[in-house]
Amino acid sequence: MSATRLELDVLTLFPAMFSAISDYGVSGRALDRGLASLQVWNLRDFTTDNYRTVDDRPYGGGPGMVMLAEPVALAVQAARERQKLAGVSAPHVVYLAPHGRRLDHAMVMALLSRQGLVLLAGRYEGVDQRVLDSEVDETVSIGDYVLSGGELPVMVLVDALLRQLPGALGDSQSAAEDSFVDGLLDYPHYTRPEVWRGQPVPAVLTGGDHARIRQWRHRQSLLRTAALRPDLLAARGTSDEELKLLVKEDS
């Protein structure tokens, strides 16, 4: 048996939060169409005491609590076993935390190629390092800031993954034209009315010349990236033709 869809397992203390992903929008549509499977596990179900304890005080002192290793390890094992039954030969375990490698489009596509991901959402001061060392394959961050837990970062990653699946978006070209796909920010978008509060839509977009429209949009992406994210442009580089577009006068 081999996996034919993206298998996703989420390990969390707050499973109800993930209805935001499963019940709405592009991500909900991708799941409804069977393009991916999302299984959410409650880490408290892997505890053994009457209080369903998932955390304890940190060794060495300090503020806050630390998530226990054993419930996390048991949950990872259960998720791996489910994925293997679904045909995933090597489920990839990802921990969402601020110290991880920064998420970008290239990482999304690399993770998408795994076909089976187990996503761990931490809480409190973090997770016992021993279980991270033994069970986690990769740590991912969505930015240089701290949230109350890993659930929102997991949802960000899941949404980014699901919208790349063929058939998830209404227009097959939408994902291919997103920001960051070609290393550039997206170009500006306009819709009706043609003039809004005295501001017209750029004339090139209403002229019907699709070659000019493509060129205009590409130039706008270059200009926006140069102005807002010059680091992206420096990392990506520009062709001679793009350099000409950058210095070209608007027409």
- Both tokens of 226, joined, read 């140069």
160 contact partners, CB below 8 Å, separation of at least 6: 103, 108
Active site residue 197: no
- Burial degree of 7 (CB within 10 A; 0-12, 13-18, 19+): buried
Catalytic residue among 98, 138, 186, 229: 98
Active site residue 178: yes
From the list 58, 125, 224, 242, the catalytic residue is 125
Residue 95 sits at φ, ψ, to 5 deg, of -105, 130
Q: Which of 80, 82, 123, 163 is catalytic?
A: 163
Among the listed residues 138, 159, 178, 186, the single catalytic one is 178
| HEC string for 85-133 | HCCCCCCEEEEEEEEEEECCHHHHHHHHCCCEEEEEECECCCECHHHHH
Query: Does 98 qualify as catalytic in the annotation?
Result: yes
Residue 163 falls in the annotated catalytic set: yes
| Structure token digits, residue 75 | 């949950």
Rounded to whole angstroms, how far apart are CA atoms 101 and 105?
12
Residue 11 and residue 65: Cα distance in Å, rounded? 18
Alpha-carbon 241 to chain mean position: 32
Interatomic CA distance for residues 10 and 91, integer angstroms:
12
Which positions are catalytic? 98, 125, 163, 178
